[in-house]
Structure 1
Amino acid sequence: MIVVCGEALFDVFATGEGVEQRAAAIGLSACQGGSPFNLATGVARLGGTASFFGGLSRDLFGRKLHAALAAEGVDLSAAPRPDAPTALVMVSVDDRGVPLYTFYGSGTADRMVTQADLAGVPADAAAIHVGSYCMVVEPVASTLRALVERQRGRSLIVYDPNVRLTIEPDVGIWRESVRWMQRRADVLKVSEEDIHALYPGMRVDTFIAESLEAGVALVVVTWGERGVVAVTRSQLAVEVPAVPVTVVDTVGAGDTFQAGLLAWLQRAGKLTRRAVEGLPQDELVEALRFAARAAAVTCSRRGADLPYTSELADVEGFELS
Structure 2
Amino acid sequence: MISVVGEALIDVLATDGAPPVVRPGGSPLNVAVGLGRQGVPVALLTRFGADPDGDVLAAHLRDSGVDLVGDPRDDLPTSTATARLDPSGTAEYTFRLDWRIPDEPLPETTTCLHTGSLAACLAPGADRVLDLLREWHGRAVISYDPNIRPSLMGDPAAARQRVDECAALADVVKASADDIAWLHPELPVDQVAAGWLTLGPSLVVVTRGAKGATGYLADGTVPQAAVPVEVVDTVGAGDAFTSGLLTGLHARDLLTREALGSLTPFQLAPALADAAASAAATCARPGADPPHPSR
Task: Provide the TM-score with structure 2 as the length reference.
Answer: 0.95
- CA deviations 1:25-69 (Å, max 9, x no partner) are x83321110111111000111231211011122111112101210
- Correspondence for 1:279 among 238, 258, 263: 263
- CA deviations 1:216-259 (Å, max 9, x no partner) are 110000111111111123x1321111111111111111000000
Q: Which residue of 1 aligns with 2:104?
A: 118
The separation in 2 between residues aligned to 1:27 and 1:229, in whole angstroms, is 37
Q: Which residue of 2 aligns with 1:248?
A: 232
How far 1:269 sits from its partner (Å)?
1.9
Q: Which residue of 1 aligns with 2:41?
A: 49
Does the Cα contact within 8 Å between 1:82 and 1:112 map onto a contact in 2? no
The separation in 2 between residues aligned to 1:50 and 1:269, in whole angstroms, is 16
Q: Which residue of 2 aligns with 1:21?
A: none
How far 1:93 sits from its partner (Å)?
1.5
- CA deviations 1:120-154 (Å, max 9, x no partner) are x1233010011001111122101111111111111
Q: Which moved more, 1:287-296 or 1:96-105?
A: 96-105
- CA change 1:310–1:236 in 2 (3 A) is farther
Q: Which residue of 1 aligns with 2:222?
A: 238
The answer to whether 1:294 aligns with 2:278 is: yes
The answer to whether 1:310 aligns with 2:294 is: yes
Query: What residue ranges of structure 1 are gaps of 5+ in the alignment?
Result: 18-25, 312-321
Does the Cα contact within 8 Å between 2:45 and 2:101 map onto a contact in 1? no
Q: Which residue of 1 aligns with 2:22?
A: 30
Does the Cα contact within 8 Å between 1:245 and 1:296 map onto a contact in 2? yes
Q: Which moved more, 1:188-197 or 1:40-49?
A: 40-49
State which structure, 1 or 2, has the greater radius of gyration over its C-alpha atoms.
1
The separation in 1 between residues aligned to 2:158 and 2:291, in whole angstroms, is 33
- CA deviations 1:286-309 (Å, max 9, x no partner) are 000011011111111111111112
Q: Which residue of 2 aligns with 1:314?
A: none
Q: Which residue of 1 aligns with 2:52?
A: 60
Q: Which residue of 1 aligns with 2:92?
A: 100
The separation in 1 between residues aligned to 2:236 and 2:36, in whole angstroms, is 15
- CA deviations 1:155-179 (Å, max 9, x no partner) are 1011000001123343233212111
Q: Which residue of 2 aligns with 1:8?
A: 8
- Correspondence for 1:83 among 75, 86, 93: 75
Does the Cα contact within 8 Å between 1:228 and 1:242 map onto a contact in 2? yes
Task: Provide the TM-score with structure 1 as the length reference.
Answer: 0.87
- The count of corresponding residues between Structure 1 and Structure 2 is 295
SS at match of 1:276: helix
- Correspondence for 2:113 among 116, 128, 133: 128
The separation in 1 between residues aligned to 2:229 and 2:287, in whole angstroms, is 15
Does the Cα contact within 8 Å between 1:186 and 1:217 map onto a contact in 2? yes
Does the Cα contact within 8 Å between 2:83 and 2:91 map onto a contact in 1? yes
Q: Which moved more, 1:297-306 or 1:271-280?
A: 271-280
The separation in 2 between residues aligned to 1:98 and 1:261, in whole angstroms, is 22
**Percent of aligned positions that are identical:** 40
Q: Which residue of 2 aligns with 1:180?
A: 165
The answer to whether 1:145 aligns with 2:137 is: no
SS at match of 1:197: helix
User: 2:159 is aligned with what amino acid?
Assistant: W
The separation in 2 between residues aligned to 1:281 and 1:165, in whole angstroms, is 33
- CA deviations 1:84-110 (Å, max 9, x no partner) are 1111111112233211001123xx3xx
The separation in 2 between residues aligned to 1:290 and 1:35, in whole angstroms, is 19
The separation in 2 between residues aligned to 1:221 and 1:283, in whole angstroms, is 17
The answer to whether 1:171 aligns with 2:156 is: yes
Query: What residue ranges of structure 2 are gaps of 5+ in the alignment?
Result: none
User: 2:9 is aligned with what amino acid?
Assistant: L
The separation in 2 between residues aligned to 1:167 and 1:291, in whole angstroms, is 27
SS at match of 1:124: coil
The answer to whether 1:214 aligns with 2:199 is: yes
RMSD: 1.6
The answer to whether 1:189 aligns with 2:174 is: yes
